[in-house]
Amino acid sequence: MRRRRAGGRTMVERASKFLLVVAGSACFMLILYQYAGPGLSLGAPGGRAPPDDLDLFPTPDPHYEKKYYFPVRELERSLRFDMKGDDVIVFLHIQKTGGTTFGRHLVQNVRLEVPCDCRPGQKKCTCYRPNRRETWLFSRFSTGWSCGLHADWTELTNCVPGVLDRRDPAALRTPRKFYYITLLRDPVSRYLSEWRHVQRGATWKTSLHMCDGRTPTPEELPPCYEGTDWSGCTLQEFMDCPYNLANNRQVRMLADLSLVGCYNLSFIPEGKRAQLLLESAKKNLRGMAFFGLTEFQRKTQYLFERTFNLKFIRPFMQYNSTRAGGVEVDEDTIQRIEELNDLDMQLYDYAKDLFQQRYQYKRQLERREQRLRTREERLLHRAKEALPGEDPEEPGRVPTEDYMSHIIEKW
150, 209, 381, 406: the active-site residue: 150
* 367 torsion bin: left (phi>0), alpha (psi -120 to 50), beta (else): alpha
User: What secondary structure, in 3-state letters, does the chain show?
Assistant: CHHHHHHHHHHHHHHHHHHHHHHHHHHHHHHHHHHHCCCCCCCCCCCCCCCCCCCCCCCCCCCCCCCCCCCHHHHCCCCCCCCCCCEEEEEECCCCCCHHHHHHHHHHCECCCCCCECCCCCCCCECEECCEEEECEECCCCCCCCCCCCCCHHHHHHHHHHHHHHHCHHHHHCCCEEEEEEEECCHHHHHHHHHHHHHCCCCCCCCCCCECCECCCCCCCCCCCCCCCCCCCCHHHHHHCCCCCCCCHHHHHHCCHHHHCCCCCCCCCHHHHHHHHHHHHHHHHHHCCEEEECCCHHHHHHHHHHHHCCCECCCCCCCCCCCHHHCCCCHHHHHHHHHHCHHHHHHHHHHHHHHHHHHHHHHHHHHHHHHHHHHHHHHHHHHHHHCCCCCCCCCCCCCCHHHHHHHHHHC
Residue 251 burial (10 A CB sphere; 0-12, 13-18, 19+):
buried
Distance between CA 35 and CA 47 in Å, rounded?
Answer: 9
150 among known catalytic residues: yes
Catalytic residues: 150
